Every structure is written in structure tokens, then in C-alpha cells.
Chain A
Amino acid sequence: MSGVLVLMEQRGGNWNRMSFEALAAGQQLSAKLGVACSAVVIGSGMDALSAELSQKKLDKVFAVDHALLKDYTADGYVVALEQLVKQADPAFVVLPHTYQVRDFAPALATRFGQVLISDVIAVHDGPVFVRQLLQGKLNADYRQTATGSCFVSVQAGTFRADAVETGTAVIEAFAPKLEATQIRNKPGELFRESAQTVDLSAAPVIVSVGRGIGEQENIGIVEELAAALGAELAASRPICDNGWLPMERQVGSSGQTVSPKLYLAVGISGAIQHLVGMKGSKAVIAINKDENAPIFEVADYGVVGDLFEVVPALTKAVLAAKG
């Protein structure tokens, strides 16, 4: 049992970008331990993706290919990967912490009498794997105590995908033994919710405008920023009360409660009724000309300035960055 095995994720022939972060993690771990690093791509018709992986600094690229693996199912992946892991017998199995991995990896680990150390944010010498507990209030050091393969999933952004080293690798085809009866779930097509009503609670990025905007006609500059970011537009209550934006865009105690990845508050003071609607946001950036505005207490990044200057400049910068 030796080496690091990195599980790459693809869907419909397209990579999940996080896979390369896991790949970087795997390469760095194997370098530290002085062992080989290999990668696994699983699905049906994996030639192109395997070829791409073979250009990375890896020992082997395992192409786990089977018609029944075309669409993801937990059963299919667990049965197939169990066979692969048994054969490859790695010391470490590194996965990206994606929704899909959360769906099958624990079951896979169980088959080996192991427990997945999930959502790791750092790898220290040992190896000791660091995770967050209690919604980020504490960090915890985990170590494998059992013998056998150690399963680890890596949190998004912990490693940089551009740190993956290039090289050459041998592609090894792996045809798992898989019966249709082993796959109990029937997955359907992927779909997005129809955007008939504004559902701010599903928006990953929200640009929100408050009383600082002054006049209704000024909202346009914020709309441009939202468009540039691909964000949903929201507002604090006074804006909706004035009818400048529809009520369904209101964020706050009497509007919607949102928890986007980014909440950009423009000209919002941060009254309590508004804060309770967006306090769950992962990151908050606030632009307000009042340095004492309460919004700055919940913001990760704050700009004390004139929004009429900062917002257009930001829109320009965002468009430039997106290319």
C-alpha cells in the first residue's frame, strides 16, 4: 500500500474545476511523503480527459470506464472505485470536496472500514489534516489511526489549481465489473429553476442597493455592476417602499433572507431589519460614505467612499477582469 491517488470529477465530459485543486493537493502530499501520485478519471468514454491528465506530473492515470458509469450514481461509482482502490492500493485517496463526492465517498470509505476526513483546509506534517468545526469557530487536527487507505476530501480554494505540475503519465485503462442491477437509483436530467419570480435565496452573488443611492434614476449604475458580476439585484426596504424596485427584491426582516457567496451592499447603512436578512452571507463587501455605518461591522471588506465614483469604477474593473 503506497502512493497517493487523486480522484478527478467530470460531468458530461467536462471537468469539475475543483478536481485540479485536489490534484495539486495530491501532488504536494506525495512530494512531501516521497511517494508516487496517480489520478483517476471515472465515467464513460474518458479518452480525451485521460489524455489531458497524462500531461500532468503523475505516475499513472487510471481511466475507469464503463457504459453504466456515463451518468453519475453513487452505487456505480462506489462499486467501480472499490475495485480500483483495491487494485491500486494507495496510502491516500484524495478527492475534491464536491457535492458529488459527499454523495459517494463516505460509502466508499466504509467499504474499506475507513472514515473520510472531509472538507480539509490544510495538510500539515504527519500527515495531519486540518478541518473546521462549529461553523468555522474552531480548527481541528485529524489523523488516521487505522491501517489501510486514508480517504481525504479537500475544501474548495485550499489548494490552487494553477499549482498543478505538468509532466507525463501512463494511462492505464480499468474496466470495472458492474451490473445494472447493482445501480439502485435512477438519476434524471440536470435542470435549473425557472426564473419567473426573483428567488434571491438561490443567488450566489447579490448586489444590494440602499438609501444612499438617493434617486431612482441612479439605480442604473448599480444595475450595471450587478450585470457585470452576473449578480442578482436586491435592495433594502426604503428602496422597495418607494417603488424603485419591486418588493420581491427586498432583503431584510420583512423581505427575503439570503445567504449568497458574496453580498455587495451599496449605500446601505445596515439597519437591523436589513442585517437580519443578509447576515448569512459568506462574504460581505460594503460601500458607504459613512464610516460609522453599522454595515461595516458585518462586512469582510469595506470601502468608505462615494458610491457614485466607486461603483462605476468597480463595474469597469470587473468587466475588464472577466475579459
Chain B
Amino acid sequence: MKILVAIKQVPERDAQIHVASDGRWIDESDLNYTINEPDAYALEEALQLKEKNGSGEVVVVCAGPERVTSTLREALAKGADRAIHIEADDLGERDTLGVAQILADAVKAEAPDLILTGLQSDDLGLGQTGVVLAELLGMPHATIIMQVEVTGSGLKVKRELEDGWFQHVEMPLPALLTIQSGGNKLRYATLMGIKKAKTKETKTVQVTAAAAGPAIRLERVYLPEKQKKTEMLTGTPTEVAAKIVEKLKFEVRVI
């Protein structure tokens, strides 16, 4: 079974974020990049499926400038067999549909049995690229998947719903799944993996079509007005209890 994993390289979670001078995006000069965490879980799921099956191929694909090759190398080090780098310097000008389109173009030739990707990205967090990609490729899809099982007729997946509910869904192959974080235990990159990665193939493809006008545009970014501050609640125990209940009702929304 050929499994394709679409991964995204995003700024490190701990990175100090500064808004760029034009206010349209963040200042990328001092940033370190890493794999989008939900995509890391998608990769882990793909590797485990391959190991469970005993055979197959895991291909990682990532679109972006030169710097994304490091993330592709890490994916190879964790056990992916091949990597495809879609060279694109203008991702900022593309919207989800635009990105999904270039992924679809690169993926069509591979004709994978299964495409996995994280349910959303740590930077933009729109959570749609996977579903849009499935739609463009005409594949069935399922989202926020915790477990994947290969059956005789296709797949049986466990889908996460709100409030602790789950659902199994049976699907035919080929299909696309967006994977939820935490379903599997991630593996760490090993020295052996890094050394092996040097011998694995990374193919670079160019973007064939120019970016069509995006449907939506990110106009500007800015710091949110409220910073996280600890609000101390004071008063008698009864007063404090009432204040807490109000927070639970309207801010935290658990009552």
C-alpha cells in the first residue's frame, strides 16, 4: 500500500513572534522551523500502518521554499521511504485552495492508496487543506481520525467527535484522512534514522500552474488585546464560590 503523507513546515511553537513591519505576516528572520505537530502524528500513523502491514511505501510531500527540505529529511529519518519537495516560494500568496491545488498536481502522478495529513496546522490553523485536497482528487475523506485499520474492502477508521463521543466509519480506498494529535505515540528521531535518510530519495518538483487569485486574503496580523493574566478572585468563601461559578458558566463554559 502506498501511503502519502502531506506535511507542513511551521515556525517552532516556542518562537518569539514579532509582527512584520508591513503588518501582513510575522517577521521570519529569526525563526526556527519544525514539522507541524498534527502532521507528525499523521506520519507516525503512516509508519505504523506500513509496519503493521509488513510492506508498502510511505512518501512524504511538502510544499514550500528551500528550508522545508530539513523537515522532509527529518521525516525520512523517522522512517519515510521517499520525499517530494514541491518548490514554492509564494505560499503566502496562496489560500487553502491554492495550496491544495499544487499538492493535488504533485500527488496525482503518485496515485497513492491512502493520503494522510494532520487535521490542522500550528500556524494558520484553518484545518482544511486535507479535506480540500480530497475534494480536488475526488477521494472520499474522513477527519479528526484517531485510529486507522486496513480491512479487506478498504478502511475502518475511528473518528473523534465532541464531548467524548467516537464513531467508526468504513471507507473505500483510495481515501484521505486527517489525523488527530495524540492518537499514537510519536517516535523520536534516531541517529540511525538520520544516517539512513541520507540515502533516501528526495524529488524536487516545480509548481506547474501560477497562483490564481486567492478566494480569501489575510489582510493583517496583530497581537490580541488581552494577554493571559491570572485573575485573582477575592472575597469570602461564598463570594469567591459565586465568582468561580460565573466564570465556569460564561468564560470556561463547563456549566
Contact = CB atoms under 8 A, between A and B. Distances in A.
Would A and B touch once assembled, by the CB under 8 A criterion?
yes
Interface stretch (A23-31, A211-219, A300-308): A300-308
Contacts of B244: 285, 301, 303, 314, 317
Contacts, number: 247
B254 A144 contact: no
A135 B122 contact: yes
Contacts of B136: 110
A261 B254 contact: yes
Interface centre among B135, B165, B223, B237 (most CB of A within 10 A): B237
Contacts of B26: 134, 138
A133 interface: yes
B204 to A, nearest CB: 27
A184 B170 CA distance: 9
A143 B217 CA distance: 5
Given A204-B164, A285-B244, A144 B216 contact: yes
Interface stretch (A51-59, A167-175, A185-193): A185-193
B255 interface: yes
Contacts of A156: 253
Contacts of B216: 114-115, 117, 142-146, 150
Contacts of B167: 187-191
Contact of A184 (B96, B97, B166, B171): B171
Contact of B230 (A117, A118, A300): A300
Interface residues of A, number: 84
B240 A133 contact: no
B141 A141 contact: no
Contacts of A138: 17, 19, 26, 221-224
A322 interface: yes
Given A75-B140, A103-B131, A301 B254 contact: no
A303 B240 contact: yes
Interface stretch (B44-52, B56-64, B155-163, B189-197): B155-163
B182 A201 contact: yes
A305 to B, nearest CB: 7
B152 interface: no
9 contacts: A99-B143, A102-B131, A107-B132, A135-B125, A141-B218, A285-B247, A310-B240, A317-B238, A318-B245
Interface of B: 11, 13, 17, 19, 26, 95-97, 100, 119, 122-128, 131-132, 134-136, 140-144, 160-172, 182, 213-224, 228, 230-234, 237-238, 240-242, 244-245, 247-249, 251-255
